[in-house]
Amino acid sequence: MIRFEHGKYDFNNNVDFCVGTGRMGLALQQNYLEQLALVQKEIGFQYIRGHGLFSDDMSIYHEYENEDGEIRIEYNFTYLDLVMDAYLQRNIRPFIELGFMPNALSSGEQTIFYWKGNTTPPKDYEKWQQLIQATLRHLIDRYGLEEVITWPIEVWNEPNLAGFWENADREEYFKLFKMSFLAIKEIDRRFQVGGPAICGVDDVSWLQDFLEFCQKEALAIDTVTRHLYTIDNPEKQGRYSYVTLRDPVECVDELKTSREIIDSFNEFKHLPMHITEFNTSYSPDSPIHDTNQNAAYIAGLLAQLGETSASYSYWTFGDVFEEFGVPFTPFHGGFGLVANGNIPKPTFWTFVFFKKLKGACVYKGEDAIFVETKDGGFRGVIWNTSEQVLKKSILLPERNQSFFFMEKRVDQEVCNPLRVWHEMGEPSSLTTDQKELLRSAASPLILTKELSIEQTSIELPVLPHGVTYVECYPIKRKSDRGFNYQKINEVHIIHER
């Protein structure tokens, strides 16, 4: 039984603070911007974070030899301006990730991904600092200081993985962080700078050592960042990775440990911790991402992540994404909330629903969360991660008027574009009609009813791997003169013989 209680539950709902993207250069593609526009219309994230700001496809950093044989540096912000303009036009701002290394500034040839982001330290740290400062100053000149200093900054990505940072060299990353931090703060100390952007590999010792380094070097960091993925050891078949989900309790405990480490330092106690990437699988070839199971599992996380973290950025908003190359099919296990073809996945709706949960939390359980609205109504989300139908009963608050009640269902029966695509024959190239059908199949089922004053409870079944959004508010009926809904439904056809 869901019974509403005031003042008992904490719910720090920051579901819309930030969302992930692939490398920034993808923002030059039309399909990318169409998916972002859909996400912003229905959800409306504040910030967007992605890789590759300084990678060669953004073409910012250049070295050339002048007539005297001296090496000179020049910067090209043409693509950066296009990307930033596109973001701001869609009412989203960058959560800046400093990386990867321009090839001309790199100390080695190690790269990662299909698009070959260089993951080695700079050959010259002074030039690295100059690159950071030149980029920030350009952004300030273009968009204004008071705007740009609100854009959070994170130094690098997952340096505790050898693929993302050569040899996962801890001391070298600490140097990179210090030099980057100082370069940013020299421009304006109000910039919010954080790291170490680690994933869950040896994360305890990495975070401890990072904070000890910042303490020793008197680096007054503004935020701490890390990532969260909830699978282990995927099974590879062809181009796909099949996964088993971890117990959500284990995942939340991992974050609690990080929170405890941060709070153990007097200098950093209570600093905001941002999860700058999270999802179920860490691989963009995992069919779990396209499923209703993913939507229900993520709902359970969204109800809890705010307990430890200032934000939690889903990786990613869309499937225009090329770490392993260009996808072969519209449903390929990509990270995105939106499949190629601008088709919302079930998890898309989990975010839409949680965005609406603004207000005092009056119920928080292992499979449901509800808030009270200003008009005396309520909104809530119920999720079912089991293989059986979940039956929930909501005890309605006492009231002296009728209520409008609405539920939106997302489950394997009514909002499952992956299943419809499979039943189509899994076409790799969708026709216009097929895209329209899949978009229609990707919408929740909406059910409504009027609740009388006498009704004290309502029963809600949630199908396996389903997510249901509930909204209820007082009816303030103002009928037009002569309009009689009951009379409309009493119309009979007269048959003359």
Structure tokens at 167: 């040899």
The three-state (H, E, C) secondary structure of the chain, written as one string: CECCCCCCCCCCCCCCCEEECCCHHHHHCHHHHHHHHHHHHHCCCCEEECCCCCCHHHCCEEEEECCCCCEEEEECCHHHHHHHHHHHHCCCEECEEECCECHHHECCCCEECCCCEECCCECCHHHHHHHHHHHHHHHHHHHCHHHHCCCCEEECCCCCCCCCCHHHCHHHHHHHHHHHHHHHHHHCCCCCEEEEEECCCCHHHHHHHHHHHHHHCCCCCCEEEEEEECECCCEEECCEEECCECCHHHHHHHHHHHHHHHHCCCCCCCCCEEEEEEECCCCCCCHHHHCHHHHHHHHHHHCCHHHCCCEEEECCCECCCCCCCCCCCCCCCCCCCEECCCEECHHHHHHHHHHCCCCEEEEECCCEEEEECCCCCEEEEEECCCCCCEEEEEECCCCCCCEEEEEEEECCCCCCHHHHHHHHCCCCCCCHHHHHHHHHHCCCEEEEEEECCCCCEEEEEECCCCEEEEEEEECCCCCCCCCCHHHHCCCCCCCCC
d(CA 468, CA 87): 31
Catalytic residue among 97, 154, 158, 254: 158
User: Is-catalytic flag, 217?
Assistant: no
> What is the Cα gyration radius of the chain?
25
By annotation, the residues acting in catalysis are: 158
